[in-house]
Homo-oligomer: A and B are copies of this chain.
Amino acid sequence: GNYTITVLPGDGIGPEVTNEAINVLNAVASRFGHTFTYHKRLVGVAAIEAEGDAISDASLEVCLQSDAILFGAVGGLASYDGRHKVKPEQALFKLRKGLQFFANLRPVKPLNSLLSASPIKSEVLRGTDLLVVRELTGGLYYGHLEPPVPGKPSEIRQTEQGAVAIDTLLYSDAEIERILRVAFEAARDRKKKVTSVDKANVLSSSVLWRQVANRVAADYPDVTFEHLLVDACAMHLIRKPTNFDVIVTENLFGDILTDEASMLAGSMGMLPSASLGTRKTAHGRLGLYEPIHGSAPDITGQGKANPIAAILSAAMLLQYSLGLKSEAAAIEAAVEQVIQEGYRTEDLREEGAKVLNTQEMGQKIAAA
């Protein structure tokens, strides 16, 4: 078929890894007889410098007109030094909130041939296959401001006693319910277990979260359901990752837990993500696909970036937004094969590994 994909390479290693994802998509196109049309747009620091905003409204419109969005990374060393009034991260917030991508899916499934790359023991890791469903348009990221402006410096108030900064963690039952439903639906296609993570012994928003979660769980009697406090979850993720199937949690907890969980997969450079909402396209749901890693300014331009997270994000794009399941599976199999053959990027360097640069790794996977 014919599909249009908006490409937002962004900052740092974003363009490097996105390029490889596109090479792999092109390999899929020629192998399976599809046509992918790419619309490239600026995002992050480059967009701020060229267009005055981390992502322009015109670019958002292009996203809305396409079948899916492939995103690299934003941010940079100069992000927090006050040089730019607008932060590059605003692009992510605008995309997520503006296009209502409330469900962020982050699968963590360590490859068997990569277990040794993890700081965690192989016997603890073996069999791990979990999915974090992170709420992406609520909580501390957006507060109660209308329109929401995350990290707005004016929320730091000067008082007679000094400066005071306030962030607001707000959830409505409707927001909680819809993300819980995504988790339970996903669990039905998997190992039929949902772990809802909160801090109900401290937070009001977590008390509400628990109430709503219990209500939703009643609609899925075939799915095993449990609550877990976020601190305990941070521990159990490392202690016994095989205990988990679907983990569902609010925005910031999901952010922290997935970075932690990346260690199960050996490197942050391995983990893809999909952000989905309610918008439909001709072929499926509109979605934003991005590696969970950031722009990594320290290794930019050195060919050290691992493109696999971006390539696996492209696979999720094929599956969720374009409805191309076999094509997605072909990419996953190619990644597995190349890793199995002993090829690695810098982040996964090991005794006896054949270390490739970003481009070489992309080409190997495209070829496979």
A172, closest chain B residue (CB) = B164
Q: How far is the CA of A207 from the CA of B80 in the complex (A)?
A: 8
Q: How far is the CA of A169 from the CA of B165 in the complex (A)?
A: 8
Chain B proximity mask over A208-234: 1 for CB below 8 Å, otherwise 0: 111000000000000000000011101
| A284 in contact (CB, < 8 A) | no
Any B CB within 8 A of the CB of A259:
yes
Give chain B residues whose Cβ lies under 8 Å from the Cβ of A256: 230-231, 234, 253, 256
Chain B residues positioned under 8 Å from A200 (CB to CB): 80, 151
A58 is an interface residue with CB less than 8 A from chain B:
no
Q: Is the pair B207, A156 in contact by a Cβ cutoff of 8 Å?
A: yes
Bound CA–CA A221/B9 (angstroms): 39
Structural contact, B87 and A201, CB atoms closer than 8 A:
yes
Residues of B within 8 A of A124 (CB): 119
Rounded to whole Å, the gap between the CB of A256 and the closest CB of chain B is: 5
Contact A235 B207 (CB under 8 A): no
- Cα(A14)–Cα(B259), bound, Å: 32
Count contacts on A: residues with CB < 8 A to the other chain. 64
A156 cross-chain contacts in B, Cβ below 8 A: 204, 207-208
Q: Is A287 an interface residue (CB 8 A)?
A: no
Q: Are A173 and B163 in contact (CB under 8 A)?
A: yes
Chain-B contact segment, one of A18-26, A29-37, A260-268: A260-268
Report yes or no: B168 in contact with A162, Cβ–Cβ below 8 A: no
Query: How often does this chain occur in the complex, in copies?
Result: 2
Report yes or no: A155 in contact with B121, Cβ–Cβ below 8 A.
Answer: no
Say whether A120 faces chain B, with CB atoms less than 8 Å apart.
yes
Chain B residues within 8 Å of A144, by CB: 166
Distance in angstroms between the alpha carbons of A351 and B23 in the assembled complex? 50
Chain B residue, CB-CB nearest to A268: B235
Q: A119-B120, A120-B238, A252-B199 are in contact. Are A204 and B172 (CB under 8 A)?
A: no
Contacts of A358 in B (CB 8 A): none
Asked if residues A140 and B234 are in contact (CB atoms below 8 Å), the reply is: no
Q: Mark A161-191, 1 if CB is under 8 A from B, else 0.
A: 1111111111111100000000000000000
Using Cβ atoms and an 8 Å threshold, which residues of chain B touch A238?
Answer: 119-120, 238, 260, 263
- Whole-angstrom distance between the alpha carbons of A201 and B87 in the complex? 8
Is the CB–CB distance between A171 and B165 below 8 Å? yes
Whether, in the assembled complex, A103 has its beta carbon less than 8 Å from a beta carbon of chain B, the answer is no
In the complex, the answer to whether B169 meets A204 with C-beta atoms within 8 Å is: no
- Enumerate 16 A-B pairs (CB-CB under 8 Å) in ascending A order: A80-B207, A87-B201, A140-B203, A151-B200, A151-B202, A151-B206, A152-B204, A165-B207, A166-B169, A166-B170, A199-B252, A231-B259, A231-B260, A234-B260, A235-B262, A239-B263
Nearest 3 A-B pairs (CB), nearest first? A155-B204, A165-B208, A231-B259
